[in-house]
Amino acid sequence: MTGAAILAIVVATSELNDPATAIMIGAAGEALGSDVAIRLLGADQPEEADPLRIERETGAGAVVSLVWRDASRLRARVRLHVAASGHTTTRELVFAEADTRVERGRTLGLAAASMWPEIRAPAVAEAARSPAVPPPGAPPKTAEPGTAAPPAAPAPRPSEPSPASAAVPTEMVRAALAARAVPGFALGLVGLGAAGGVRTVGARVESLFGVGGSWSLRAALLARTGPISALGGGTLWTYALAGGVDWWPAALRAGELARFGMRADAMAMRHQVSGAAAAGESESRSRYLPAFDLMAQMALRASARIDLLAAVGTEAEPGGTDIRTGSPPMVATTIPVFQLVAEVGLRVGF
């Protein structure tokens, strides 16, 4: 069997013995026919598997990698790499919650098989061009004296693709291949603290929408508070509405357990200060201003849906904020341009 008749399929190591994986391999084998061998391989990170190495070591004509893009296994990415041309094809499949694991496995197998014709035609053409050659050293056959030479055996015809191999994918597969990927969704709850001028602690709630690859769009609402001793019992409240991006590059993953990334937000911030003025009356003042943050973050996987989060970085507000008291007003303390921020919490994926 030639290398062009081998298809390698790479899945996560934890899915090698999954019944849905067996169904996927069976569906792909049925669609491709008996003249195509399928090799199932496991990898901790299938998206990072090197198709060139796999093709070289297994003799495969193509490598298909399967990556589940969410913990609920509703979104899958199927990527085909062709050995002969180096061409890569990527397809996104979206399932409904009502689809059983059997249906999902069969759909994935048929989707992988539907990508096979991209490399199958060159193999057939090569077989048609290659004449039958006798083994090296084998003497030519001659007729014995007085007998007629046997008729020459007809040249073998190249094998035709089996009807299953050439079949059009089912309606279910076509619909899945045509569907656009639905962004992943997650909710987080984080405790945080900031140090700079006035020390504050508080919490942030956030939502994230995956936009493909390692990137997510995010929106968050935070509140924190802390005492202002210079005001004789004064208090600072800080509120912010934030929006930005999360980045979790594949190169910074530590297997299945830990991920490392970066986060950046633009914020609409409000500082609310209350305390006793020089005359002894309680006063409250507020200020609105833009702000930004840049954080290095880490996520530890606690379960299939839950990540534990930790982050540290800086928060910046143009010009800083002076807090004054007395008559005439004098600067009691300042919220500086840059503050150190640390966070810890959890995030739940859906």
Q: What is the pLDDT of residues 128-167, one digit of tens each?
A: 444 444 444 444 444 445 544 444 444 444 333 333 333 3
- Statement to judge: residues 20 and 43 lie in one domain: yes
Same domain flag for 204 and 173: no
Where helices occur in the chain by DSSP H, the ranges are 19-32, 51-58, 101-114, 117-129, 163-166, 171-178
- Report CA dihedral (245, 251, 257, 260) to the nearest 10 degrees: -40
Residues 323 and 210 in one domain: yes
Same domain? 330 vs 201 = yes
User: Of residues 107 and 184, which shows the higher confidence score?
Assistant: 107
Asked whether residue 282 falls in the same domain as residue 323, the answer is: yes
Q: Which domain holds residue 52?
A: 3-129+169-178
Lowest model confidence (mean pLDDT) among 113-127, 168-182, 188-202, 213-227? 168-182
**Mean pLDDT of all residues in 43-50:** 88
Kindly list the distances between the CA atom of residue 121 and the CA atoms of 59, 118, 126, 165, in Å, as whole numbers in the listed order.
Answer: 17, 7, 9, 12
Token pair 């030519």 in the structure block, residue = 140
Mean pLDDT of 313-338: 86
Domain-located, residue 230: yes
Q: Pairing relation of β-strands 321-325 and 330-335?
A: antiparallel
Q: Point out the least confidently predicted range of 34-38, 121-125, 337-341.
A: 121-125
Whole-prediction pTM: 0.50
Instruction: Please indicate, yes or no, whether residues 200 and 215 belong to a single structural domain of this protein.
Output: yes
* Residue 210 sits in the same domain as residue 174: no
Exposure string for 83-102, b = 16+ CB within 10 A, e = fewer? beeeeeeebbbbbeeebeee
54/219 Cα distance (integer angstroms): 40
**What value does the mean pLDDT take over residues 173-189?**
55
On whether both 190 and 337 belong to a single domain, the answer is yes
| Number of structural domains the chain divides into | 2
- Tokens 């759909």 found at: 107
